[in-house]
Chain A
Amino acid sequence: MVDGRVLIEKILAGDLAAYEIFVRQYQKLVSHIVFRMVGNETDREDICQEVFIKAYRNLSKFQFESKVSTWIGKIAHNTAINYLAKKRPTALTDIGEEDTDADSFQSLAVGPEGLAESGDVAARLRAGIQSLSLPYRTVVTLYHLDEMSYNEIAEVMDLPINTVKSHLFRARQKLKEKLLERYDPEDLCQ
Protein backbone atom coordinates (compact mmCIF):
# COMPACT_ATOMS: atom_id res chain seq x y z
CA MET A 1 0.00 0.00 0.00
CA VAL A 2 1.46 3.32 -1.12
CA ASP A 3 1.44 6.22 1.35
CA GLY A 4 -1.57 8.46 0.66
CA ARG A 5 0.44 11.66 0.99
CA VAL A 6 3.03 10.50 -1.55
CA LEU A 7 0.30 9.52 -3.98
CA ILE A 8 -1.52 12.83 -3.62
CA GLU A 9 1.68 14.81 -4.18
CA LYS A 10 2.33 12.85 -7.38
CA ILE A 11 -1.23 13.35 -8.59
CA LEU A 12 -1.04 17.09 -7.96
CA ALA A 13 2.13 17.14 -10.03
CA GLY A 14 0.08 15.73 -12.91
CA ASP A 15 0.88 12.01 -12.58
CA LEU A 16 -2.32 10.23 -13.66
CA ALA A 17 -0.76 6.79 -13.19
CA ALA A 18 -0.52 7.70 -9.49
CA TYR A 19 -4.20 8.64 -9.59
CA GLU A 20 -5.07 5.18 -10.92
CA ILE A 21 -3.12 3.63 -8.04
CA PHE A 22 -4.97 5.96 -5.66
CA VAL A 23 -8.32 4.74 -7.03
CA ARG A 24 -7.28 1.07 -6.71
CA GLN A 25 -6.11 1.69 -3.16
CA TYR A 26 -9.36 3.22 -1.94
CA GLN A 27 -11.97 1.58 -4.19
CA LYS A 28 -12.75 -1.11 -1.60
CA LEU A 29 -13.51 1.48 1.05
CA VAL A 30 -15.67 3.50 -1.33
CA SER A 31 -17.56 0.44 -2.56
CA HIS A 32 -18.18 -0.70 1.04
CA ILE A 33 -19.81 2.61 1.91
CA VAL A 34 -21.71 3.16 -1.32
CA PHE A 35 -22.90 -0.43 -1.80
CA ARG A 36 -24.09 -0.62 1.79
CA MET A 37 -25.94 2.68 1.60
CA VAL A 38 -27.39 2.45 -1.90
CA GLY A 39 -29.68 -0.43 -2.76
CA ASN A 40 -29.90 0.25 -6.50
CA GLU A 41 -27.31 -2.02 -8.12
CA THR A 42 -27.28 -0.21 -11.46
CA ASP A 43 -26.38 3.16 -9.91
CA ARG A 44 -23.81 2.01 -7.36
CA GLU A 45 -20.77 1.94 -9.63
CA ASP A 46 -21.61 5.34 -11.13
CA ILE A 47 -21.77 6.77 -7.61
CA CYS A 48 -18.36 5.24 -6.80
CA GLN A 49 -17.00 6.84 -9.96
CA GLU A 50 -18.48 10.19 -8.95
CA VAL A 51 -16.75 9.88 -5.56
CA PHE A 52 -13.32 9.54 -7.17
CA ILE A 53 -13.95 12.37 -9.63
CA LYS A 54 -14.94 14.63 -6.71
CA ALA A 55 -11.83 13.54 -4.81
CA TYR A 56 -9.65 14.40 -7.81
CA ARG A 57 -11.20 17.84 -8.19
CA ASN A 58 -10.73 18.60 -4.49
CA LEU A 59 -7.33 16.99 -4.00
CA SER A 60 -5.51 20.32 -3.89
CA LYS A 61 -7.73 21.42 -0.97
CA PHE A 62 -6.87 18.38 1.15
CA GLN A 63 -4.69 19.58 4.03
CA PHE A 64 -3.71 16.17 5.53
CA GLU A 65 -5.46 17.08 8.77
CA SER A 66 -7.13 13.67 8.71
CA LYS A 67 -6.25 10.30 7.18
CA VAL A 68 -6.79 10.07 3.42
CA SER A 69 -9.16 7.12 4.04
CA THR A 70 -11.30 9.25 6.36
CA TRP A 71 -11.42 12.07 3.82
CA ILE A 72 -12.37 9.81 0.91
CA GLY A 73 -14.84 7.96 3.17
CA LYS A 74 -16.53 11.25 3.94
CA ILE A 75 -16.82 12.09 0.24
CA ALA A 76 -18.32 8.63 -0.41
CA HIS A 77 -20.77 9.02 2.48
CA ASN A 78 -21.89 12.50 1.37
CA THR A 79 -22.21 11.45 -2.27
CA ALA A 80 -24.40 8.48 -1.31
CA ILE A 81 -26.49 10.73 0.97
CA ASN A 82 -27.00 13.21 -1.88
CA TYR A 83 -28.02 10.40 -4.22
CA LEU A 84 -30.51 9.02 -1.67
CA ALA A 85 -31.88 12.50 -0.98
CA LYS A 86 -32.78 12.79 -4.66
CA LYS A 87 -34.08 9.25 -5.06
CA ARG A 88 -35.69 8.50 -1.73
CA PRO A 89 -35.82 11.45 0.69
CA THR A 90 -37.65 9.42 3.36
CA ALA A 91 -34.62 7.15 3.79
CA LEU A 92 -32.67 10.04 5.28
CA THR A 93 -35.32 11.25 7.66
CA ASP A 94 -36.02 7.75 8.96
CA ILE A 95 -34.06 7.40 12.20
CA GLY A 96 -35.69 4.14 13.18
CA GLU A 97 -33.76 0.94 13.56
CA GLU A 98 -35.23 -0.74 10.51
CA ASP A 99 -35.08 0.30 6.91
CA THR A 100 -38.64 -0.33 5.81
CA ASP A 101 -37.78 -0.07 2.11
CA ALA A 102 -34.97 -2.59 2.20
CA ASP A 103 -35.56 -6.26 1.54
CA SER A 104 -36.85 -7.55 4.80
CA PHE A 105 -34.87 -10.01 6.79
CA GLN A 106 -38.09 -11.79 7.64
CA SER A 107 -38.98 -12.51 4.04
CA LEU A 108 -35.54 -13.84 3.21
CA ALA A 109 -35.15 -15.95 6.28
CA VAL A 110 -36.37 -19.51 6.25
CA GLY A 111 -37.08 -21.89 9.08
CA PRO A 112 -34.48 -24.06 10.79
CA GLU A 113 -35.17 -26.86 8.33
CA GLY A 114 -34.33 -24.54 5.45
CA LEU A 115 -31.22 -23.41 7.24
CA ALA A 116 -30.12 -26.97 7.73
CA GLU A 117 -30.49 -27.51 3.99
CA SER A 118 -28.63 -24.42 2.82
CA GLY A 119 -26.44 -23.76 5.83
CA ASP A 120 -26.12 -20.16 4.62
CA VAL A 121 -26.38 -18.05 7.73
CA ALA A 122 -24.12 -15.45 6.12
CA ALA A 123 -26.56 -14.73 3.28
CA ARG A 124 -29.38 -14.24 5.76
CA LEU A 125 -27.24 -12.03 7.89
CA ARG A 126 -26.46 -9.87 4.85
CA ALA A 127 -30.18 -9.46 4.33
CA GLY A 128 -30.45 -8.57 8.01
CA ILE A 129 -27.80 -5.88 7.66
CA GLN A 130 -29.64 -4.39 4.68
CA SER A 131 -32.82 -4.27 6.74
CA LEU A 132 -31.15 -2.05 9.35
CA SER A 133 -31.60 1.71 9.15
CA LEU A 134 -29.10 3.66 7.06
CA PRO A 135 -26.96 5.03 9.93
CA TYR A 136 -26.80 1.63 11.64
CA ARG A 137 -25.62 -0.27 8.60
CA THR A 138 -23.13 2.46 7.69
CA VAL A 139 -21.60 2.42 11.18
CA VAL A 140 -21.25 -1.38 11.29
CA THR A 141 -19.70 -1.35 7.82
CA LEU A 142 -17.11 1.29 8.63
CA TYR A 143 -16.27 -0.38 11.93
CA HIS A 144 -16.16 -4.04 10.95
CA LEU A 145 -15.25 -3.98 7.24
CA ASP A 146 -13.03 -0.93 7.08
CA GLU A 147 -11.71 -1.17 10.63
CA MET A 148 -12.21 2.52 11.31
CA SER A 149 -12.01 3.89 14.83
CA TYR A 150 -14.98 5.58 16.54
CA ASN A 151 -13.33 8.95 15.88
CA GLU A 152 -12.90 8.25 12.19
CA ILE A 153 -16.48 7.03 11.80
CA ALA A 154 -17.70 10.13 13.64
CA GLU A 155 -15.78 12.28 11.17
CA VAL A 156 -16.98 10.40 8.10
CA MET A 157 -20.63 10.46 9.17
CA ASP A 158 -20.54 13.81 10.95
CA LEU A 159 -21.91 12.31 14.16
CA PRO A 160 -20.91 12.60 17.84
CA ILE A 161 -18.67 9.74 19.01
CA ASN A 162 -21.23 8.57 21.58
CA THR A 163 -23.85 8.28 18.84
CA VAL A 164 -21.45 6.16 16.80
CA LYS A 165 -20.89 3.86 19.80
CA SER A 166 -24.59 3.58 20.50
CA HIS A 167 -25.43 2.90 16.81
CA LEU A 168 -22.80 0.18 16.71
CA PHE A 169 -24.07 -1.47 19.88
CA ARG A 170 -27.74 -1.30 18.86
CA ALA A 171 -27.07 -2.52 15.30
CA ARG A 172 -25.20 -5.60 16.51
CA GLN A 173 -27.81 -6.28 19.18
CA LYS A 174 -30.55 -5.99 16.56
CA LEU A 175 -28.81 -8.45 14.27
CA LYS A 176 -28.28 -10.91 17.12
CA GLU A 177 -31.97 -10.72 18.06
CA LYS A 178 -33.00 -11.27 14.45
CA LEU A 179 -30.83 -14.38 14.25
CA LEU A 180 -32.11 -15.79 17.54
CA GLU A 181 -35.73 -15.13 16.52
CA ARG A 182 -35.30 -17.49 13.59
CA TYR A 183 -32.61 -19.97 14.47
CA ASP A 184 -31.47 -22.10 17.36
CA PRO A 185 -28.09 -21.09 18.77
CA GLU A 186 -26.68 -24.52 17.81
CA ASP A 187 -27.45 -23.77 14.15
CA LEU A 188 -25.44 -20.58 14.37
CA CYS A 189 -22.43 -22.28 15.90
CA GLN A 190 -20.07 -22.88 12.94
Chain B
Amino acid sequence: MSVEHLSDESIQTYLEDCSPEAKAEIELHLSQCSDCRGALDAYRAVFSGLTDDSDFELSTGFAAKVRAQVEAESTVEVVSPDRLSPVISMIVASAAVVVLVALHYFVGWGWLGSAVLAISSPGIRFFDAISSTVSLTLSFLNGGLILILMGGSILAFFGLLDRLLVRHRV
Protein backbone atom coordinates (compact mmCIF):
# COMPACT_ATOMS: atom_id res chain seq x y z
CA MET B 1 0.00 0.00 0.00
CA SER B 2 1.46 3.35 -1.03
CA VAL B 3 1.32 6.32 1.31
CA GLU B 4 1.14 9.86 0.01
CA HIS B 5 3.52 12.00 2.02
CA LEU B 6 3.27 15.70 2.74
CA SER B 7 4.99 17.87 0.16
CA ASP B 8 7.94 20.06 1.16
CA GLU B 9 5.81 23.06 0.35
CA SER B 10 3.10 21.92 2.78
CA ILE B 11 5.60 21.43 5.60
CA GLN B 12 7.29 24.78 4.99
CA THR B 13 3.89 26.49 4.93
CA TYR B 14 2.85 24.62 8.08
CA LEU B 15 5.88 26.03 9.93
CA GLU B 16 5.21 29.57 8.82
CA ASP B 17 1.70 30.60 8.04
CA CYS B 18 -1.05 28.13 7.53
CA SER B 19 -4.86 28.22 7.65
CA PRO B 20 -6.45 26.39 10.64
CA GLU B 21 -8.06 23.84 8.30
CA ALA B 22 -4.81 23.02 6.50
CA LYS B 23 -3.02 22.87 9.84
CA ALA B 24 -5.51 20.31 11.21
CA GLU B 25 -5.15 18.19 8.09
CA ILE B 26 -1.34 18.24 8.24
CA GLU B 27 -1.34 17.39 11.94
CA LEU B 28 -3.62 14.44 11.31
CA HIS B 29 -1.19 13.14 8.71
CA LEU B 30 1.82 13.75 10.94
CA SER B 31 0.23 11.72 13.72
CA GLN B 32 0.19 8.73 11.39
CA CYS B 33 3.39 9.14 9.34
CA SER B 34 6.86 8.90 10.88
CA ASP B 35 8.62 9.87 7.60
CA CYS B 36 6.81 13.19 7.49
CA ARG B 37 7.48 13.74 11.19
CA GLY B 38 11.17 13.25 10.38
CA ALA B 39 10.96 15.77 7.56
CA LEU B 40 9.19 18.20 9.88
CA ASP B 41 11.96 17.80 12.49
CA ALA B 42 14.58 18.46 9.82
CA TYR B 43 12.74 21.59 8.69
CA ARG B 44 12.43 22.75 12.29
CA ALA B 45 16.22 22.42 12.65
CA VAL B 46 16.69 24.37 9.40
CA PHE B 47 14.34 27.18 10.43
CA SER B 48 16.00 27.41 13.82
CA GLY B 49 19.50 27.45 12.32
CA LEU B 50 18.55 30.17 9.86
CA THR B 51 17.76 32.56 12.72
CA ASP B 52 21.12 31.92 14.39
CA ASP B 53 22.70 35.36 14.70
CA SER B 54 25.96 34.36 16.36
CA ASP B 55 28.46 34.70 13.50
CA PHE B 56 27.92 38.29 12.49
CA GLU B 57 29.79 40.33 15.08
CA LEU B 58 31.56 43.49 13.96
CA SER B 59 34.45 44.80 16.05
CA THR B 60 33.75 46.91 19.12
CA GLY B 61 33.64 50.59 18.24
CA PHE B 62 32.76 49.93 14.61
CA ALA B 63 30.23 52.80 14.53
CA ALA B 64 32.72 55.25 16.06
CA LYS B 65 35.34 54.18 13.52
CA VAL B 66 33.00 54.82 10.59
CA ARG B 67 31.99 58.17 12.09
CA ALA B 68 35.65 59.20 12.43
CA GLN B 69 36.23 58.37 8.77
CA VAL B 70 33.23 60.42 7.68
CA GLU B 71 34.33 63.27 9.94
CA ALA B 72 37.78 63.29 8.36
CA GLU B 73 36.25 63.41 4.88
CA SER B 74 33.88 66.25 5.80
CA THR B 75 36.58 68.69 6.86
CA VAL B 76 37.86 71.33 4.47
CA GLU B 77 40.33 69.82 2.10
CA VAL B 78 42.98 71.95 0.45
CA VAL B 79 43.50 70.78 -3.08
CA SER B 80 47.08 71.72 -3.88
CA PRO B 81 46.97 71.83 -7.71
CA ASP B 82 44.17 74.44 -7.62
CA ARG B 83 45.60 76.54 -4.85
CA LEU B 84 48.51 78.93 -5.23
CA SER B 85 51.26 77.75 -2.93
CA PRO B 86 52.40 80.21 -0.22
CA VAL B 87 55.85 80.39 -1.86
CA ILE B 88 54.40 81.42 -5.25
CA SER B 89 52.12 83.96 -3.54
CA MET B 90 55.12 85.49 -1.78
CA ILE B 91 57.15 85.64 -5.00
CA VAL B 92 54.30 87.31 -6.92
CA ALA B 93 53.67 89.82 -4.13
CA SER B 94 57.40 90.59 -3.80
CA ALA B 95 57.67 91.11 -7.57
CA ALA B 96 54.73 93.54 -7.40
CA VAL B 97 56.43 95.51 -4.64
CA VAL B 98 59.72 95.63 -6.61
CA VAL B 99 57.83 96.97 -9.66
CA LEU B 100 56.22 99.66 -7.51
CA VAL B 101 59.55 100.66 -5.99
CA ALA B 102 61.08 100.87 -9.48
CA LEU B 103 58.18 103.02 -10.68
CA HIS B 104 58.59 105.25 -7.68
CA TYR B 105 62.31 105.58 -8.32
CA PHE B 106 62.14 106.29 -12.05
CA VAL B 107 58.77 108.07 -12.44
CA GLY B 108 57.87 109.35 -8.98
CA TRP B 109 54.48 109.68 -7.33
CA GLY B 110 54.02 113.41 -7.40
CA TRP B 111 51.08 113.19 -9.80
CA LEU B 112 49.24 110.84 -7.46
CA GLY B 113 49.72 113.14 -4.49
CA SER B 114 48.43 116.07 -6.56
CA ALA B 115 45.36 114.10 -7.57
CA VAL B 116 44.59 113.30 -3.92
CA LEU B 117 45.01 116.94 -3.02
CA ALA B 118 42.82 118.06 -5.95
CA ILE B 119 40.01 115.81 -4.77
CA SER B 120 40.24 116.72 -1.11
CA SER B 121 40.94 120.48 -1.28
CA PRO B 122 37.70 122.09 -2.55
CA GLY B 123 34.90 123.14 -0.25
CA ILE B 124 34.39 122.05 3.29
CA ARG B 125 36.88 122.82 6.00
CA PHE B 126 36.62 119.33 7.45
CA PHE B 127 37.92 117.85 4.26
CA ASP B 128 40.46 120.63 4.05
CA ALA B 129 41.87 119.47 7.35
CA ILE B 130 42.02 115.90 6.10
CA SER B 131 43.59 116.87 2.81
CA SER B 132 46.17 118.94 4.66
CA THR B 133 47.04 115.94 6.78
CA VAL B 134 47.19 113.69 3.70
CA SER B 135 49.25 116.26 1.90
CA LEU B 136 51.66 116.58 4.80
CA THR B 137 51.96 112.82 5.17
CA LEU B 138 52.52 112.33 1.47
CA SER B 139 55.17 114.97 1.29
CA PHE B 140 56.77 113.57 4.44
CA LEU B 141 56.87 110.04 3.13
CA ASN B 142 57.54 111.19 -0.42
CA GLY B 143 54.95 108.70 -1.77
CA GLY B 144 56.15 105.84 0.49
CA LEU B 145 52.75 105.52 2.18
CA ILE B 146 51.06 104.93 -1.15
CA LEU B 147 53.71 102.42 -1.97
CA ILE B 148 53.01 100.54 1.25
CA LEU B 149 49.24 100.74 0.73
CA MET B 150 49.48 99.43 -2.81
CA GLY B 151 51.81 96.63 -1.74
CA GLY B 152 49.32 95.68 1.00
CA SER B 153 46.44 95.80 -1.49
CA ILE B 154 48.28 93.47 -3.84
CA LEU B 155 48.97 91.04 -1.02
CA ALA B 156 45.31 91.16 0.04
CA PHE B 157 44.24 90.58 -3.57
CA PHE B 158 46.39 87.48 -3.91
CA GLY B 159 45.24 86.29 -0.49
CA LEU B 160 41.60 86.62 -1.60
CA LEU B 161 42.29 84.90 -4.90
CA ASP B 162 44.04 82.09 -3.06
CA ARG B 163 41.12 81.73 -0.63
CA LEU B 164 38.61 81.51 -3.46
CA LEU B 165 40.50 78.61 -4.97
CA VAL B 166 40.14 76.43 -1.86
CA ARG B 167 37.68 73.62 -2.58
CA HIS B 168 35.42 72.10 0.04
CA ARG B 169 34.61 68.40 -0.29
CA VAL B 170 31.96 66.52 1.72
Contacts and interface: CB of A to CB of B under 8 A. Distances in A.
Contacts of B56: 28, 31-32, 35, 145
Contact of A189 (B41, B46, B47, B66): B41
A176 B46 contact: yes
B137 interface: no
Given A129-B49, A169-B9, A185 B58 contact: no
A169 B67 CA distance: 39
Nearest to A25: B63
B71 interface: yes
A185 B8 contact: no
B8 to A, nearest CB: 5
Nearest to B56: A31
User: What does DSSP make chain A's interface, helix, strand, loop or mixed?
Assistant: helix
B65 interface: yes
Interface majority SS (helix, strand, loop, mixed), chain B: helix
Contacts of A148: none
B67 A16 contact: yes
A188 B42 CA distance: 6
A56 B12 CA distance: 39
Interface stretch (A61-69, A70-78, A95-103, A119-127): A119-127
Contacts of B63: 20-21, 23-24, 27
B66 A23 contact: yes
A180 B42 contact: yes
A154 interface: no
Given A20-B63, A52-B66, A145 B53 contact: yes
B51 A185 contact: no
Given A53-B70, A129-B50, A145-B53, A27 B62 contact: yes
Contacts of A125: 45-46, 49-50, 52
B4 to A, nearest CB: 18
Interface of B: 8-9, 12, 37-39, 41-53, 55-59, 62-67, 69-71, 73-74
Interface of A: 16, 19-21, 23-24, 27-28, 31-32, 35, 45, 48-49, 52-53, 56, 121-122, 125-126, 128-129, 140-141, 143-145, 169, 172-173, 175-176, 179-180, 184-186, 188-190
